[in-house]
Structure 1
Amino acid sequence: MSHIISIVGKTNVGKSTLFNCLTKTKDSVTNNIPFFTRDRKYGLIKINNKNFTLIDTAALSTNFLSYKEKNITYFINKQTKIAIQEAHIILFLITSYTHLDSFYKKFLKFLKKKNKTLLIIVNKIDYLINFSFNKFLNFSKTIYISALYKININQILNSIKILLSKKQKTQKDFLNNKNNNIYNTTKLCLVGNTNVGKSTLINSFLKETRLIINHHPGTTRENITIKILYKNHLFLLTDTKGINQTQNIKQHNFLFNFIKQNDVIFFIIDATLGLFEQDILLLKQILSIGKHLFLILNKCDVINNKQKTVLKNFLYTKLYQFTKFLTIHFISALYFYNFKSIFHSLDFFLYLKSKSWSNHFLTKLINLAIKKKPLLKKKHILKFLVAKQININPIIIIIFGQKQLKLLPNHYKRYLFNFLVQNLNIKNICLQIHYFHNK
């Protein structure tokens, strides 16, 4: 049985701090800037060795219950309303110094209409203890906590446990069901400069407005992870904060370390702007560690074929040592143009992810390559070699042989490398070959 718990409240009441405290992570970015959180962020909390979904939401604005023009605030409010709709339990968070205005009465009436189980939590009790929220809202029980100093957090968990035990309604959710372990899981992240269309691409995948999109750079302020099931394979998609070309080395290293934790990288480029040197540097780093890379040029609906060719040639020139592995996708995330090419590459990734070549097959292939193009010099004559695959992502193959391997010239190593890439049909992921010889 799966239950969802959503944290809601006004700005700077400590929602993200409570989210991190309950999930025992630092996934939600905490900040004193008002309305910093914009999207819904999902996490897991564990109660009695059972996992439940926790959602961190954007701050409630004064126009939350009114429908005005469709600006960014409208879409932020929409994300919070979806989180409320999904939730079985609402953790309504306020502070010990909250001013109790008419908005709270209206909002609570809104929740009552939604038939949601509500838990009132007063945060920041280290500021003020004397508080009369119970009398104002006529609630029998309120939990007083300090999320920053982890005071009374267990009371929240115990209250959730009691509320869940009373609930008779069940709801199936494949993302958190016990049978979820039947799915293979792949971590995928979207990387790119600000305003290149990363959030739009995810929304297009889901065919819904899951992430807030806006023409102003920096709309996505923190990493948002979403679960997508594709062909019985669970993808954890993370939309990352846009790369700023003025970012320092520390920020660059932080992003690269996050990338290394993922299996597949969607590198999104704005086709109308092209690439920056910082993009090329990051691409080389990603390819060097053997990550499965999707190079996606978005907004190609506004460029012509000649401009596409120029961009493609530029990429091949800058990444010449990796061109054998590059597959470039020219798409429009907004208009679903050429989406099929991405799904074809995803299918090929799933094939490679489950593909493991036997020692017999690889050995036969290597010796076939030697037979087709033998080394002429006597000191470089290669005898029977043995090949073995030791890793899938990246693909690592070890070739075992006699002392002659030590003297193997680089041009012949490149030949064997290219031969394997071609015959194994390896794309989007680097192949690494290591040579071992007897002493």
Structure 2
Amino acid sequence: MSLPVVAIVGRPNVGKSSLLNLLARRRVSIVDPTPGVTRDRVSAVCDLDDRYFELIDTGGYGIEDQDNLTEHVEQQIRFAIDGAALILFVVDIRAEITPLDLEVARLLRGVKTPVQLVANKADTEAIEHLAGHFIALGFGEPFCVSALHARHRRELMELILERVGDLAPDKAPDPVMKLCLVGRRNVGKSTFINALAGEERVIVSEVPGTTRDSIDVRVNLDGREFLAIDTAGLMKKGKHKTDVEFYGYSRALASIRRSDVALFLIDATVPISDVDKKLAGYIVEEFKPCVLVINKWDLAKGRADAEAYGEYLSKTMPHLAYAPIAFTTAVAGRNIRSTIELAQSLFNQARQRVTTGQLNRVIEEAVAAQQPMAGKHGGQPKLYYATQISVAPPTIVLFVNNTALIKEQYRRFVEKRIREALPFEEVPIRLIWRARESREGASRGAPARGAGPDNA
């Protein structure tokens, strides 16, 4: 199963971003007194006593955005609510119940997801009695916390894990794969969707930008049902001439976030552009499995063969070098089915689990093959052990003596060795590097063999 999701929801300026930063123990969200700084969903993996969940910060509900993005912000809030196992409804203990608090309460009464009311800015015990009047919102007694002064952090984490744990089913339901088709304008995304669905579900035109919104199409292929999401064609941000174009761009990125696999369509007849490279970077940042779909391949005959084009992609988009490539002609329905089979393979890979023993053998072999370099001041990096904590994406925590000593080059080396040795060859891997607390030393055992002298 993926990590359970906990969504933070509330009106502007109640301290939602500060709360995420507190629970994650690092600065993830921008904190600013100006209402509406957070627009999209921002997430972080949080843990307590080796139990993990994903925490999502959302924009302030009801904000009148200066760039007319109120609808976009509220759509992101609804996406977060729909995917959450628990909702933290955050209010400001120092304020009275506001009309926006009441609006948020009305929104949350209409969902089935459990809601935990949290009264933030309880900076001292003396003002905690002020939380009582928020019971009128209808979600029980609020839990008091101060994100600014880190009051009751552990108690709130324990409450979250208790409530999420109670909601965990005995067996995860069979997942339905969500495919997102993304790419520049006029690369053939809508044609691909129609070929897949066997009917014209979306408008297809030679005019760039015909698709202006994300469109969900449910497809049944050989008895297997999945969701295909057609998106607006992307262009440089500065070229958005209308609000409709901007919203199309925003919703395309949102569709990537909610997808399981991205089908990244590229026009074989034109060179890779900056838009393609930025889109590739966004897919990597979101840890989404990706198939590089080279469409209109019939029109590229005589210009390059498949092997040469694959080398060209590796040079122009090296951060997606692990992604498999499919060559298609959507207008003729060619290689559409095999592309979906490839996406299904990635979907399955991203949900693979390996044992701690398997994982640590790979880490030991990596360290034996290449020692991490000592720091400038003589500090010796030591890798202790690793464990997989989640899937989709495969998420691995590596415990070390000091995360600052592990250089980026060595982190990439370890990721490459994990990818080559374990069943994650074609999907992104999320590595979380954590310093092991000294109190764990005796119980966790020695470092991975060859990880440097143990002078603890």
TM-score of the two chains, using structure 1 as the length reference: 0.51
1:256 alignment partner AA: L
Alignment of 1:415 onto 2:413: yes
- 1:246-325 superposed matches below 5 A: 246-247=239-240, 250-251=246-247, 252-304=249-301, 306-308=303-305, 311-323=309-321, 325=322
**Distance in 1 separating the partners of 2:235 and 2:379:** 53
**Distance in 1 separating the partners of 2:410 and 2:177:** 35
Partner of 1:67: none
**Distance in 2 separating the partners of 1:305 and 1:398:** 47
**Distance in 2 separating the partners of 1:220 and 1:411:** 41
Partner of 2:342: 345
- Partner SS for 2:361: helix
Q: Which runs of 5+ in 2 are unaligned?
A: 1-171, 438-456
Give the drift of 1:415.
Answer: 2.1
Question: Does structure 2 conserve the Cα–Cα contact (< 8 Å) formed by 1:189 and 1:259?
Answer: yes
- Partner SS for 1:256: helix
2:380 alignment partner AA: H
Give the drift of 1:314.
Answer: 4.0
Partner of 2:429: 431
Give the drift of 1:206.
Answer: 2.8
Partner of 1:332: 329
**Distance in 1 separating the partners of 2:302 and 2:324:** 17
Please report the RMSD computed on the Cα atoms of aligned residues, expressed in angstroms.
3.0
1:192 alignment partner AA: G
Give the drift of 1:182.
Answer: 6.2
Structure-2 change in CA distance of 1:390 and 1:233 (3 Å): farther
Q: Which runs of 5+ in 1 are unaligned?
A: 1-180
**Distance in 2 separating the partners of 1:237 and 1:322:** 22
Question: Does structure 1 conserve the Cα–Cα contact (< 8 Å) formed by 2:263 and 2:292?
Answer: yes
Question: Does structure 1 conserve the Cα–Cα contact (< 8 Å) formed by 2:351 and 2:392?
Answer: no
Partner of 1:42: none
Give the drift of 1:421.
Answer: 1.0
Alignment of 1:359 onto 2:356: yes
Partner of 1:196: 187
Partner of 1:131: none
Give the drift of 1:341.
Answer: 4.2
Give the drift of 1:254.
Answer: 4.2
Question: Does structure 2 conserve the Cα–Cα contact (< 8 Å) formed by 1:294 and 1:428?
Answer: no
Give the drift of 1:435.
Answer: 1.6
Give the drift of 1:256.
Answer: 1.8
Give the drift of 1:425.
Answer: 4.0
Structure-2 change in CA distance of 1:395 and 1:300 (3 Å): same
Give the drift of 1:311.
Answer: 4.7
Structure-2 change in CA distance of 1:409 and 1:216 (3 Å): closer
Deviations 1:47-88 (A, max 9, x none): xxxxxxxxxxxxxxxxxxxxxxxxxxxxxxxxxxxxxxxxxx
**Distance in 2 separating the partners of 1:210 and 1:420:** 41
**Distance in 1 separating the partners of 2:219 and 2:251:** 25
Partner of 2:386: 387
Structure-2 change in CA distance of 1:240 and 1:226 (3 Å): same
**Distance in 1 separating the partners of 2:350 and 2:430:** 16
1:361 alignment partner AA: Q
**Distance in 1 separating the partners of 2:299 and 2:406:** 49
Bigger Rg, which one: 1
- Partner SS for 1:413: helix
Identity %: 25
- Partner SS for 1:430: coil
Question: Does structure 2 conserve the Cα–Cα contact (< 8 Å) formed by 1:184 and 1:232?
Answer: no
Structure-2 change in CA distance of 1:407 and 1:193 (3 Å): closer
Structure-2 change in CA distance of 1:203 and 1:321 (3 Å): closer
**Distance in 2 separating the partners of 1:393 and 1:318:** 26
**Distance in 2 separating the partners of 1:241 and 1:250:** 10
**Distance in 1 separating the partners of 2:358 and 2:179:** 30
- Partner SS for 2:332: coil
Give the drift of 1:375.
Answer: 5.3
- 1:169-188 superposed matches below 5 A: 183-188=174-179
**Distance in 1 separating the partners of 2:408 and 2:174:** 42
Give the drift of 1:214.
Answer: 3.2
Question: Does structure 1 conserve the Cα–Cα contact (< 8 Å) formed by 2:177 and 2:347?
Answer: no
Question: Does structure 2 conserve the Cα–Cα contact (< 8 Å) formed by 1:402 and 1:437?
Answer: yes
Question: Does structure 2 conserve the Cα–Cα contact (< 8 Å) formed by 1:188 and 1:262?
Answer: yes
**Distance in 1 separating the partners of 2:310 and 2:339:** 17
1:434 alignment partner AA: I
Give the drift of 1:422.
Answer: 0.7
Structure-2 change in CA distance of 1:438 and 1:214 (3 Å): closer
TM-score of the two chains, using structure 2 as the length reference: 0.50
